[in-house]
Structure 1
Amino acid sequence: MGLKGKLITSIEVKCEGHSIHDILHTNMHHVPTISRSINQFEIHKNEIIKVGLIISWNYDEGGQNKFTKQIIEDIDPHKKSIRWKIIGGDVLEMYNSFTIAVSCEPQWVTWTIEYEKKTEDTPEPLIELGIILDLNKDIEGHLVKN
């Protein structure tokens, strides 16, 4: 059995938090053009962004191209939250399970990563958290500029 952990960060945003939720919920296909880290986005199942949708991302991690395949586990339009479970890709080489959740309030965006490490020597997913924070900054910058 691995070691479970949770990382939570809340970021004050200059734009409305619901605008970030809207991009992540209804306009995910725009993320590769907004983000410096996300290179490609693909929908594998369904056409509408809803629970059960399977998506994949290619992203840059320290100059290396990485891949993640995810399923949307939960969307709450009233709470402006989304939760993705990683079901394939590079992250699962080090973690038995990995979920990412975002919750958007008017001036705050909260990201949560829940994970289970394969071994005690596996590092905390701080690099992955950094990529998420960069994505948040890129989306916020895009929204403030427009």
Structure 2
Amino acid sequence: MGVKGKLTASIEVECGGHLFHDLYQKNPHQISNISPNNVNHFEIHEGETVKVDSIVSWKYNEDGTNKIVKEVIEAIDLEKKSITWKVIEGDLLELYNSSIITSFEDLWATCTLVYEKKTEDTPEPLVTLGFMINLYKDMEGHFLN
């Protein structure tokens, strides 16, 4: 068993968090158009839309490196406007077993990384959390324009 951890970052978004949740749930393929420097591609592998048990993948650029992540959607809470994504394949799995929880309320966009390091020497996934914050900033810019 590796070291377990949880990192959470929230940023204030003037446009309202509900717009982020709607984008993730209804039009996630548009995120690569909104933030092309961060997200290169989105694909649904199983399921027709973003629903519980759908399997999706993202090609993204994290800290100057092209990466991929494949996730299964474990939970969607419409009241809390949250989606829980469990990582099942890709670059993140080299270092961590992890889940990513995105939640959006009122004027806040929040990302929570729940992870287990594969080794004790593995650094905390701060770069991944930073990637999510940058993505949220691009999304906010899109909605404010």
TM (norm. structure 2) is 0.96
Give 1:45's aligned amino acid: E
Counting only pairs closer than 5 Å after superposition, residues 28-107 of structure 1 correspond to structure 2 as 28-35=28-35, 36-95=37-96, 97-107=97-107
What is aligned with 1:135? Answer: 135
Give 1:87's aligned amino acid: I
The residue matched to 1:9 in structure 2 has which SS?
Answer: strand
Which portions of structure 1, spanning 4 or more consecutive aligned residues, are displaced by more than 3 angstroms?
Answer: none
Aligned-residue offset at 1:62: 2.5
What is aligned with 1:7? Answer: 7
Distance of 2:144 and 2:98 partners within structure 1: 31
Give 1:120's aligned amino acid: E
Aligned-residue offset at 1:63: 2.2
Matched positions, count: 144
Aligned-residue offset at 1:102: 1.4
| Structure 2 alignment gaps of length 5 or more | none
Is the contact made by 2:18 and 2:81 (CA closer than 8 Å) also made in structure 1? yes
Distance of 1:132 and 1:63 partners within structure 2: 14
Give % identity: 54
Aligned-residue offset at 1:103: 1.4
What is aligned with 1:108? Answer: 108
Is the contact made by 2:86 and 2:98 (CA closer than 8 Å) also made in structure 1? yes
| Structure 1 alignment gaps of length 5 or more | none
TM (norm. structure 1) is 0.95
The residue matched to 2:128 in structure 1 has which SS?
Answer: helix
Aligned-residue offset at 1:65: 1.1
